[in-house]
Amino acid sequence: MIAPGSITSTTTAPAQLSTGGMTVFGSYAAIRTLQTMKPTFNESYLLLSRRFEGRVKPKEDGQVFRVMQWNVLAQGLTDSNPRKNFCKTPPRWLEWETRRYLILLEILSYMPDIIILQECDRFDFFDIKLREFGYKGKFKERPFSPCVDMPDDDEGKPDGCAIFYHTERFNLVECVYRQLVNQMQHSTSTLAFALKLEFVEDNHPLLVVNTHLKGGPKTEQTRYEASIDLSNFVAEHAGSRDLVVIGADLCENPSQRGYDHLITKFKDAYAFALEGKHPSFTTWRFRPTGEEKYTNDCIFYNDVGLRVLQALDVPSDAAVGDYRLPSRFCGSDHISLICDFQRVMETS
């Protein structure tokens, strides 16, 4: 968690612990959690090397808060063999017993005030672990989740969208959601899920929105129509004073129509921090049809009342490694996006 008015180091905190043949780099909060989870094998758990970019100096007044956006890869979708997804990823890096260490390590090393997750099919696990560090969260199941029918997942839980908030910074007012519709008003398999929060300091409202649009090369029109309903959903639930932050896996690159629509309604935090550029990728994996490297994930915001201070850039291609993602350095086939915001205080 970021203290009001402060910014953390521009690189990952280098806390280190060696125990039982395992070396962990990350925050002490993450290390304490990992110590209680009994690793299934002795290995060094590391995070991908990344740097914050932008680094706008915060003003003296106005709370600073950190947002993480991450598709954490549903365990029900991790089946790996030469004919299926993640065909080059070593199987042990896809096991939940391994991935949960890396995901928690990353979350707790950056200690965001707000955590926005897609493809979360182990919400109970995250809810229990993150409560130890002052977080509370809510979950909404994705319509027609493919995880339920996966034969290799013993639990067979549907995935969905989760939002966590740190209770020292925010209070929960309301939880709202909608199954988004297309232009014919037919329901899609896309969910818009939001928490209405208030800052503990002064009860100022903040609307945090989570969405995961439908993937696939033939669904661009569906994503475009869902993005229109998403912006309508935000307009319906955001009051005139509400700050708005949206974490999204758009399942498409910024050149496509869904993104083009959303950018007419909201600002792209990473485009601001990277001076008009987009991350070179946010998901990178091998599938039987070939290598897939896309920029699918975004953090949007309304710039009335918010300013971007910095954003965590993507790791280098060399750091990702030959197997791409997931890997021994990242528990998902997506990388996390992290952005620091500051409120622009109202003037009388």
182 DSSP β-pair partners: none
Helix (H) or strand (E) run with residue 300 in it: strand 297-301
Q: How confident is the model at residue 185 (pLDDT cuts 50, 70, 90)?
A: confident
What the block records as the tokens of 216 is: 């696939």
Least confident of 41-45, 99-103, 104-108: 41-45
Sign of the CA dihedral with 221 first, then 335, 41, and 82 last: positive
Cis peptide before 326 (omega within 30 of 0): yes
What tens digit of pLDDT does each residue of 287-303 get?
A: 888 999 999 999 999 98
Q: How confident is the model at residue 149 (pLDDT cuts 50, 70, 90)?
A: confident
Q: At what angle do helices 28-35 and 96-110 cross, to 10 degrees?
A: 150
If you average pLDDT over residues 164-189, what whole number do you get? Answer: 92
Strands 187-199 and 170-181: antiparallel
Residue 167, classified by CB atoms within 10 Å of its CB into exposed (0-12), middle (13-18) or buried (19+), is middle
Can you give the pTM of this predicted structure? 0.90
Report which of 70, 2, 104, 112 is spatially closest to residue 247, judged by C-alpha positions: 70
Give me the pLDDT at residue 52, please.
Answer: 92
What tens digit of pLDDT does each residue of 189-243 get?
A: 899 999 999 999 999 999 999 999 998 888 999 999 999 999 999 999 999 999 9
Helix (H) or strand (E) run with residue 138 in it: strand 135-141
What tens digit of pLDDT does each residue of 300-336 get?
A: 999 889 999 999 999 999 999 999 999 989 999 999 9
Report which of 290, 324, 294 is spatially closest to residue 93, judged by C-alpha positions: 324
- Of 79 and 327, the one with more pLDDT: 327
For residue 131, give every residue at least 6 positions away whose Cβ sits within 8 Å of its Cβ, in sequence order, or none.
none
- Of 236 and 46, the one with more pLDDT: 236
pLDDT above 50: residue 3: no
Report which of 336, 347, 342 is spatially closest to residue 272, judged by C-alpha positions: 342
pLDDT above 90: residue 284: yes
Number of Cβ atoms within 10 Å of the Cβ of 242? 17
What share of the chain in percent tops pLDDT 90?
62
Maximum CA extent, the chain:
63
State phi, psi for 262 to the nearest 5 degrees: -60, -35
Give me the pLDDT at residue 175, please.
Answer: 98
